[in-house]
Structure formats: structure tokens, C-alpha cells
Structure 1
Amino acid sequence: MNEKTLTTASPVPKSRASRLLSMGGLATKLAGNVLTEGSKRWIKGEAPSLNELVLTPKNMSDVADKLARMRGAAMKLGQLLSMDAGTLLPPELAAVLARLQSQGVIMPKTQLIHTLESSWGSDWMDRFNYFSFDPIAAASIGQVHKARTLDNNELAIKIQYPGVAQSIDSDIDNVISLLRLSGLLPRGLDIDELVDEARHQLHLEADYCAESRHLTDFAGKISNFSINCDLIMPTYFAELSETNIMTMSFIEGVGIEEWLKDHPEDASRIMGLMLELFFTELLQMNLMQTDPNPANFHVCPDTGKLILFDFGAVRQFDPQFVDRYKQAIDQAIEQNRAGLEAALEVLSFFKNGTDVANKAAVIDIFTIASEPLRSTTPYDFGQSDIAKRIHEIGMSVSKDPDAWHTPPADVLFLHRKMAGLYLMAAKHKAVVDTRTIYQQISG
């Protein structure tokens, strides 16, 4: 993790009441914007629809800014919706929610000190000979600070924003209500299972004790596989950790996006490692860090190894699910539509009443997504239009939201990771022998 200073500071609303008022303020602001924009256009003789008035750049910007400043579940839910339901959302909302992937707002120093004193006592600085009050990273749940112990251990200390763990359920309910009442979510779009799983996942991510167990478990399991020699993971410091503070060894590194921007010639190797890690997690460990946010991955400049940081979104897959999912992949590689349909049926991809066209669309998406695994030569992600083709099919399905069936949670989180890797590989024009990687790991 390399050091950088984040300067946008805003107090985190702590109580449920203050967070509810914050959402209420956003609703009032959106309504005011609709009235103002509507008046302007009616004076010009135009007759805009309510949907057009809601989906203005100003309203979309206000939504993203408010979710970023609230942090916690409000911001994280926006991130999940942008990745898991992006093809079914209005493009304006999908684009602005995608901004939350890289948007981080930090706590003011006074709130940070109060949080540390509440957890460690007023003499907390006696534990360190150095502590930086400028965070080196900020995300939806917390921010990270660099420190050094009295015996000169370099540390990365993740400090949870106050109030976010206690506000997860109310935040999610408030955000979904706002998006539905404002018309930002398409009428009839069923995201209940996604929302329930987001709620469960957020409670896990806010539990830093659980994350420390995930880190230890993940490091222990992956040490049995060949990719381990290309990875670096931090050491956990239990004596300096609390339920809202997670302390790990500081590892010098460069963010993967920054590294690939400066070293484009390394894109194929790095993305090959990322895909090898993905299939090792799924097929051999049945344990995966499911968050594809590039901020979770750094590169060691001296060795070129991947550095893994965040273990809040680690998910354990049932071996039976993994076996069934592998069957679906293998059928897709062979382009056996009947076999793929049967495999997806077992995985609960379809609901009763799903019409033939939508079932065919899901099979098409899965077949297209398996294209890199089918290629007999190294796959050129930079020349691929996989994302475009999948998006076009998704948009055709979105015209009939009632026929859309949200897949099981395991599938959603798995596809979120895979889609993130494909998009990163395409962005950096990686050429990867994906088929060989899959065959070697799947046996």
C-alpha cells in the first residue's frame, strides 16, 4: 500500500436519526430539483415525463454525493447495485452509482480522535512512536492510517466509521425506499434477494473480528496452492485490534490500476495472475474474496507480486454449488445449450414462468462470458466486445422486469468478481491464456 493523502473530509452521521434526516434531506432536494427543472421546461412549452425530470445530471450527482458522505451501507449498497443490477438500471443511475467505486470521503481529524479514544482510551498514542492522521485509503466502511509501534513494526490500521455498523439495516431500507419512491429504480424490478444478501454481506464486512478470521483462514488455505508464491498478504495484529479497528502489517505497494497505467507491458502477466487466483479460489479453495474493487489489489514494485488487502467480502462456497457451477462452465465452453440450460436450472437461474426468450438470453450471456475459456489461443481482452454484447442482452431483458429472475446470492457475488476481472483485463488490453489457466486448475 503506497501512501497518498485524501483531502475531502466530512463528518460521518453517527446516529440513526441523523442518517435518516440525511436521506430525508436528499429526498427533499431531489423533489425541489424536479420542480425547478419541470418549471423551466414547461415554460419552454415542453412536456417532460417525471422519469426525465428525475434522471437529470444534477439529481444523479446529488445522489452519489450524498451516499458517499453517508458512507456505510448507503454507499456500499450503491456500489453493489451498480455492479449487480447495472444492466437493469437507467443508464444515468448506473453511471452515477459506478462513481462510488472510487469515491471516498474521510472523517475529520476531531471525529477520528474521538473514535480512537473511545476504543483505546485517552492514552492511545502511548502505543505508537508514530501515527499519521492523514488516511492513506478511504472506502465505504472505514479508512486506513499508517502507524509504527514502539518496537518499529510498520502498521496499516483500518478504522471503522462511527455508527455505520449500527445503521446498516435502516440505511438499506431508507436507500431502497428513496430509489423506489423517486422512480430511480424501474417499476417491477425485483431486487429483494440482492438487497437481503447485501444486508447480510454488509453486516459481515462491518465485523472486523470476522474479517481477521477470513484473513487468517484465506492465507492458510491458499498456502497449499502454487499461486501462493506470487501473493503477499498482511499479518494481523490482534493486540492492536477491536471490533471497529483492524490492525495489520503495512506492505509497500502500488495500486493495481496505477501500476498497470505505468507498466502497460505487465498487464497480461498481472491479469493472468488475477484470473489464476479467481479460479483457485473458486475451484480449489471454495473460498473467495468477492469484491472486485481494484483498490483491494496492489503490486509489490520490487517483486511484481500481487498484494491482497481487504478480506471483508470473503465468501465460503458449498462444494456442491462449486461442482454444479463447474458443470455449467464446462457446458458453456462446449456450447452445449441443452446441457447448459439443465446445469443453470439446477443452479436456480430460472423461475417458473420464465419465458423462452428470457431463458435463451440467460444462456446466451453465460455462453458469451465463457468465450475466454473456449479460445484455443491466448485471449485478447482488449479486442473483445464481451461486455458490450452482454450489456445489450441485459438491456433487452430489462424491458420485461417481471420476467427477470435474480440468481442465487452465491452466483451474484461470483459473477460480480468475474465481471470486474474481465472489465479490468479489457481496460488494460491484457492477452491471457485463460483456457489453459482454467484447465490446469479445474483438472
Structure 2
Amino acid sequence: MTELPRKAAARTARLAALPLGYAGRQAVGFGKRLGGKPADAVLSEMQQRTAEQLFRTLGELKGGAMKFGQALSVLESALPDEVAAPYREHLTALQDSAPPMPTATVRQQLTTHLGADWKERLVWLDGAPTAAASIGQVHRGRWLDHVGDGAERDVAVKVQYPGAGEALMADLRQIARLARGVAPVFPGLDIKPLVAELQARAADELDYHLEAEAQSAYAEAFADHPDIVVPGVVAVGEEVLVTEWLDSAHSLAHVIREGTQEERDHYGEIFVRFLFEGPVRTGMLHADPHPGNFRVIPAADGGLGRLGVLDFGAVARLEEGRMPPATGRLMRIALDNDDESLVAGLRAEGFIKDRIEVDPRQVLDYLAPFVEPAAQERFTFTRDWMREQFERVNDPRSEAFTLAMKLNLPTSYLLIHRTWIGAIGLLSQLSASIPFREILEESLPGFAVS
């Protein structure tokens, strides 16, 4: 067996062990309940142990397992704190790290995808990666734009793991089959649609030429922005992407862990402005809002700095080059408490299918908490608020759950929906207070009052 199939087989075996581990813990939990331990305490303990195994395993893997873990990590704020606390460290680690590939493999990738003369331009390359993610890792280097003129600049060299595409799809297929073993960690969350959406976007994320195109568009569009920095593209090959180096202190993961409230509010506001200004400036939506992709750039005077944005592999190319105007229009209708118009608008967009009957007042009550951030001058996103919404719509005993089963998510909104859920998760982790309504009025089509 060659090295790649051997590693893939090892990943499959470790992923397959997850539901087996959960089944074993179920048996132990049943025994403890027979011994008189409270059911709630047993359930919490089982969730903690399952989560620890899940995120420890995902954190040691690349490919689809790593990407799946990153997708789950932004939902950590929706979990009950007594369940989330023991493994929050495992989740956060997924957002910034992964095991490195050997230096010899990196150099072979550079030769294959930048040409045998790559050393004439890339005159220095740090042997150790500065960052790693689900399908590749990044090294710092120095680039010579014109051979002979001696002018060098620092660059980030993103190198895809050999066989990453095969491993990514194999892992995602395996995770889809093992959704039952993951479900106990996020009770009420339907894992299968999440994995299906990751599978649908995988081809785009593996295409570095497509990523370079998106990043170049963003770099040009935000070149004059006072608070947002997007590194420009220097060179690209099929599995190698060279961009300008971004001098940053740390990612938003650090602000989540240790930031002051002033920092949380400042960077949270910049993050939301970037999210909504991106479609206006580029016709695209940056669709990977996990904290490791957003870097804090210190200010020269020691004050609050700018926000650098990385990783444009997951980008939604929006129809008509903008966010759907119905998104802002329906939010505004919900804020105006017009339940009949809200239902009519949802039907027109395909969120409610023709033969499905709903109570307009229930629909308004269901959506009201989701539009609550736009109802105030400043809204503070918190873990408690995120958790309350998550539990409200995922409790089978509630009216919200029954109504949610009747709603439909049109295909054109899938990536927009996942991006926004991830963004809310990040803001809730930050506990950021931001002028959300003002930002929507400036940048979300259909929301501003004419």
C-alpha cells in the first residue's frame, strides 16, 4: 500500500471509531443511571467525553475532517456552557492549526506547480509553516519580482497537501455516513446538510486559480479601506498560491480568548462591515467566517488596529453580483411586524412552498429573535443569546421547531445562510456590541427605508 492510501485508511479507521466510542459511553451511562446517577448528569458527561474524542481526532487530521471541525467550531457558542467548557480548547485549536507536511514535500509541490526555476523568484523559504488548515499550509518567504533588480518582498506561500482533494472528499463521505456519532455533541443540529454543503463547495476550495481570482478582486476592491486589509496575489499554480505577507499580531481567536471589551467591539464591527461591504464592492461573499481567517494588524501608535482577511477559497459568487434584495426587504418587513406581507414574501422567495399552510403570526414570532439585532442602535451578541436561539428552534416540543420543519431553504440561499450562521457564532464568541442596524442600512440591499 502506498503512503497516500495508507494515510487515508488510517483516517477512515479513526473517524469510524467515533460512533463506536459513543456507543460504549452509552452503555457505561446506562450502567451509571442504574446505579442511581441523575440522567442529566450522565448525559452531560457523555457529551463532554464524546466531544473531547471528536475534536481531538479532528484536530489531528487534515482533509475533510479538519474542515468539518472548523465548520462546527463557529457553533461552539450555541452549546450549553457546562457542555462546551471542557472542550472549548479543542474547538479553538482547530481554527488555527494542523500537523505540518515534510519540507521535502513542500519543495516538490513548489517545483511541480511553480516550475523548476521557482528558487530564482522565491529566494528564501521558511522551513517551518506559519499556519496550517484543512487542505494546505502556509510558509513565509521572500519574493523577487524581477530577477536581477534585487528588490525583495515578504510573501505567504500557501501549499496544498498532495492528494488533498481525494482525502477531502473521502473524509466528507465518511463523516456523512457517521453523522450519528457526531450528533450527540451538537444535539438538535442536523449534521447531514452541513456535510452535503461542504461537499458541494470542496471543488472550489481546491482550485487555487479560482481562489487567486477572488482574492485579487477583494484586494483591489478594499485597497483604499481604512480598516480592512486583503493581501494581493503574487503568483499562482494549481496547488500553490503566493500572496503578499500580512504582518499581524494574532487572529480573532486570540481576541475571543483574551481581548478587552473595546477590542471585541472594534474588531467585531470591522468584521461585520467586511462581511456586508464585500458583496457591494466585489459581487462576492467571503463564506468562511472562522476566527483564524481574520488577523489583527497592530496600529503604529499602539491603539486599536485594522483587520486583515485571509483565505478566499470559500467564496459565494452572488447572482446579479449582490446579496438578494429580498433578504433585506424581508428583515425590514419583520421589523415592521407585518406578518401577512412577511409570509407572502417568504413564499415568493421559496422559503414557504405553495401547498404548505402556516400561521403568519407564528412565522413572525419565529423570526423576530433572528432580526432582533437589527432592531436596536447597538446590539450585543452573546453566547447566551446564541444558545437561546439554538435551543428555541431545535427543541422538538416547541412551536418554533414545528414551524421550522415547514420552512424551506432555497438552494440559492444555502451558502449565504451557512455564512451568516457562522458569522453570528463568531460574534457571539466575541461578545461584540456593534451598530448592526446602521451597517445593514448602508450595505444590505432592500433593508434601508426609502
Instruction: Name the CA distance, whole Å, in 1 between partners of 2:419 and 2:68.
Output: 16
> 44, 51, 55: which is aligned to 1:60?
51
Counterpart in the other structure of 2:137 = 143
Counterpart in the other structure of 1:7 = none
Q: CA deviation at 1:363?
A: 4.3
Instruction: Name the CA distance, whole Å, in 1 between partners of 2:78 and 2:261.
Output: 29
Instruction: Name the CA distance, whole Å, in 2 between partners of 1:116 and 1:235.
Output: 19
Contact map agreement 2:379 2:434 (CA 8 A) in 1: yes
Deviations 1:371-418 (A, max 9, x none): 22221x333446x95323312212225886993656235434324433
1:107-256 alignment, distance < 5 Å: 107-110=100-103, 111-119=105-113, 125=119, 127-150=121-144, 151-180=151-180, 193-222=193-222, 228-238=225-235, 241-256=236-251
Contact map agreement 2:255 2:430 (CA 8 A) in 1: no
Change (3 A) 1:137 1:33: same
Paired AA for residue 243 in structure 2: M
> 75, 79, 85: which is aligned to 2:66?
75
Contact map agreement 2:351 2:410 (CA 8 A) in 1: yes
Deviations 1:265-299 (A, max 9, x none): 24433333222222223456542101111211123
Paired AA for residue 128 in structure 1: L
Instruction: Name the CA distance, whole Å, in 2 between partners of 1:230 and 1:275.
Output: 12
Change (3 A) 1:336 1:101: farther
Q: CA deviation at 1:158?
A: 1.0
Please say if 1:22 is aligned against 2:11. yes
Stretch moving more, 80-89 or 137-146: 80-89
Paired AA for residue 236 in structure 1: V
Change (3 A) 1:414 1:349: same
Counterpart in the other structure of 2:308 = 307
> 314, 335, 338: which is aligned to 1:336?
338
State the aligned residue count: 421
Contact map agreement 1:149 1:155 (CA 8 A) in 2: yes
Contact map agreement 2:29 2:43 (CA 8 A) in 1: no
Unaligned residue ranges in structure 2 (runs of 5+)? 145-150
Change (3 A) 1:180 1:361: farther
Counterpart in the other structure of 2:416 = 414
Instruction: Name the CA distance, whole Å, in 2 between partners of 1:211 and 1:190.
Output: 29
Change (3 A) 1:285 1:123: closer
Instruction: Name the CA distance, whole Å, in 2 between partners of 1:86 and 1:270.
Output: 18
Instruction: Report the secondary structure of 2:164's partner residue.
Output: coil
Instruction: Report the secondary structure of 1:200's partner residue.
Output: helix
Instruction: Name the CA distance, whole Å, in 2 between partners of 1:16 and 1:405.
Output: 42
Q: CA RMSD in A?
A: 4.2
Change (3 A) 1:380 1:28: closer
Instruction: Name the CA distance, whole Å, in 1 between partners of 2:246 and 2:79.
Output: 39
Instruction: Name the CA distance, whole Å, in 2 between partners of 1:286 and 1:434.
Output: 21
The alignment-based identity, stated in percent, is 22
Counterpart in the other structure of 1:4 = none
Paired AA for residue 245 in structure 1: V
Contact map agreement 1:16 1:170 (CA 8 A) in 2: no
Contact map agreement 1:154 1:250 (CA 8 A) in 2: yes
Q: TM-score, normalised by structure 1?
A: 0.77
Change (3 A) 1:80 1:259: closer
Please say if 1:289 is aligned against 2:286. yes
Contact map agreement 2:287 2:315 (CA 8 A) in 1: yes
Paired AA for residue 161 in structure 1: Y
Paired AA for residue 247 in structure 2: E
Paired AA for residue 177 in structure 1: R
Paired AA for residue 15 in structure 1: L
Change (3 A) 1:397 1:325: farther
Instruction: Name the CA distance, whole Å, in 2 between partners of 1:47 and 1:353.
Output: 49
Instruction: Name the CA distance, whole Å, in 2 between partners of 1:53 and 1:214.
Output: 43
Instruction: Report the secondary structure of 1:153's partner residue.
Output: strand
Q: TM-score, normalised by structure 2?
A: 0.76
Contact map agreement 2:214 2:315 (CA 8 A) in 1: yes
Contact map agreement 1:38 1:53 (CA 8 A) in 2: no
Deviations 1:224-275 (A, max 9, x none): xxx834322212112xx32111100102123343357455424433333222
> 418, 431, 434: which is aligned to 1:432?
434
Instruction: Report the secondary structure of 2:440's partner residue.
Output: helix
Contact map agreement 1:128 1:148 (CA 8 A) in 2: yes
Instruction: Name the CA distance, whole Å, in 1 between partners of 2:328 and 2:412.
Output: 13
Change (3 A) 1:38 1:263: closer
Change (3 A) 1:183 1:199: closer
Instruction: Report the secondary structure of 1:157's partner residue.
Output: strand
Q: CA deviation at 1:207?
A: 1.0
Deviations 1:119-143 (A, max 9, x none): 4577755543321122211111211
Q: CA deviation at 1:85?
A: 11
Change (3 A) 1:109 1:326: same
Change (3 A) 1:338 1:79: farther
Counterpart in the other structure of 1:3 = none
Change (3 A) 1:176 1:393: same
Paired AA for residue 136 in structure 1: T
Deviations 1:421-441 (A, max 9, x none): 444444444432222232233
Q: CA deviation at 1:166?
A: 2.3
